[in-house]
Structure 1
């Protein structure tokens, strides 16, 4: 159960939009909204009514990908190459569903904290993408500096900084933004399935470091991983998704084609 206290009309519209958008999706790797209610509560001192929203979702007791990695890192444990690929493949399937709608929708906040895992005996974990509060029609035409600044301001509020695509940090005054913002976040999330953090979080801890500069320049650092280490093909796969120029970034169909080839190669 997700409870939201609503104190103004803007917050009310955001919740209504989340409910509307959630109802658009029907896929096993996207968390379904089972039911919802928005109720009025006692008036404020100014005489206006507040609201409370209740959104009901299925229960997943094994927590998020972020929760799981914190528990694993305490034991210096890592996902196997096979589990990395299987978890990632499921996220791709969920995003493919969103990107294939008409119009296409972008999730806009793909990150480990928004991925639920459910462990199944003898199988790879079931991965489910959740939280559609930031999901919007993916394709936007930016035709002025003010529109670019509006997009950047929106992204700063709705897209987690370490997973945010370069075009959402520094948007040109003339740009066509599309669902490939999710591909960038997906590449960051694949890295995080392996190593527990975004590929750019190192910049937060460096003296004089800049997260934005690291992202805009796609300055990836590869930490020490499990022994034996992950295949170089996985590193190349991440790098392929983290193209600073969105026009040369692959689309979700391309990603799925390549992850299926990697699964057949490394999941024997």
Structure 2
């Protein structure tokens, strides 16, 4: 149980497609440990850390197997999807295909996956498993909550560094042929790992075998799990951290789809609007998705708007339209469409950051900058 307490911080947002995460009750043991074999490697669940819809997320450790008799003492995150219909199975496989297709240091790596028959899982016919690195710092939401608890906030350097990494992940999607749009960029879908973490090398490498190719770093994590902080030093030397010492990845590709869609009539516009309602988180959804024109071209710049809202969150800890959500009779859709961003009167952030938010959140999607434009401006601010 001590090792679970060592990593308690930041596990509330481990993986994708989880609309509601259970509070982490680290002192309550998981009832029943499940063992699953993925590509000949065995893993045992230690603790359920999240649940949403028909998905569950577990903390797991690898067991000795014929393929790997002496596995490294690392912890992983395992997503389990219960597919009761062909549509649910299709959605899970779509997420897997996106993660397999787009490989980038700032995109959550998929280490292993498998589809197995469901046994005693209610009405589920198949179980889809996705093994991923564990990001012990959790999500951007977790990071800001920790900062706020001690009266602190992200520095400008940290904000720009994390933002640039997320932009690079989005750029990797937009550069696919045809381009892909993530469509659900939000603070819960950005996970963080500090350079001193003993999991950081695995999180960065995303090796296909799911192991850490450095015995020193494996030893470092074991020491860390046993409470020896000095054990993290070798991992710190090995990790290639950002300027702010934080590695960020974008996750949850269940909403990812072809970016460029031509709308010819009102029927198609309504279909696109309903699809966006299902797959996009409202406070971070682009205005053209709230009221899709009957004749238009939707493209990957829906993500650029969401990036601006994400940047705002890193600055202030709330979405740009949080004030509207808290007002009686306030309409989020109207606030987004009219670009009624609530700017705090007192702010310690520079005008350059505010300008970058506004640059991303151009209401007219035809005039909104591309992800390359956003990256270029962010790099200028980091210089």
TM range (shorter): over 0.9
1:49 CA displacement: 6.3
TM-score for both structures, normalised by structure 1? 0.93
Match of 2:375 in 1: 256
Which of 79, 83, 94 is 1:2 aligned to? 79
Alignment of 1:102-181 (within 5 A): 102-121=177-196, 123-181=244-302
Aligned pair count reads 260
1:23 — aligned with what?
A: 100
CA distance in 2, matches of 1:180, 1:44: 40
Give the whole-Å Cα distance in 2 for the aligned partners of 1:76 and 1:146.
Answer: 50
* TM superposition shift of 1:75: 2.2
| Correspondent of 1:203 among 309, 324, 342 | 324
Please say if residues 25 and 32 of structure 1, whose CA atoms lie closer than 8 Å, have aligned partners that are also in contact. Answer: no
In structure 2, the residue matched to 1:191 is 312
The equivalent of 1:32 in structure 2 is 109
If each structure's helix is expressed as a fraction of its own residues, which one has the higher value? 1
Task: Measure, in 1, the Cα distance between the counterparts of 2:275 and 2:328.
Answer: 28
Report the secondary structure of 1:248's partner residue: coil
TM-score normalized with structure 2 length: 0.65
Aligned to 1:73: 148
Q: Secondary structure at the match of 2:126?
A: strand
Residue 224 of structure 1, CA deviation: 5.3
Superposed CA RMSD: 1.7
Q: Structure 1, residues 16-60: CA drift from partner, whole Å, max 9, x if none?
A: 111111111111000011111111224899xx8611111111111
In the alignment, the residues of structure 2 paired with residue 189 and residue 225 of structure 1 have an alpha-carbon distance, to the nearest angstrom, of 19
Structure 2 counterpart of 1:60 = 135
Give, in whole Å, the separation in 2 of the partners of 1:144 and 1:18. 29
Corresponding residue SS for 1:39: strand
Question: Which of residues 96, 104, 108 is equivalent to 2:171?
Answer: 96
Distance 1:119 1:225 in 2: 30
Q: Over residues 50-78 of structure 1, what are the superposed CA-to-partner deviations in whole Å (9 max), with x where a residue is unaligned? A: 11111111111110111111222222211
3-state DSSP of counterpart to 1:3: strand
Partners of 1:60 and 1:117 within 8 A in 2: yes
Does the CA contact (< 8 Å) of 2:83 and 2:124 recur in 1? no
Higher relative contact order (CA 8 A, sep 6+): 1
**How many angstroms apart in 1 are the aligned matches of 2:84 and 2:154?**
42
Aligned match for 1:234, one of 345, 353, 360: 353
Q: 1:160 to 1:115 in 2, by over 3 A?
A: same
Contact 2:83/2:127 (8 A) holds in 1? yes
Specify which of 197, 204, 216 is matched with residue 337 of structure 2. 216
Query: What do residues 98-134 of structure 1 show as CA deviations (whole Å, max 9, x unaligned)?
Result: 1111111111111110001111258431111111111
- Quick check: which has more Rg, 1 or 2? 2
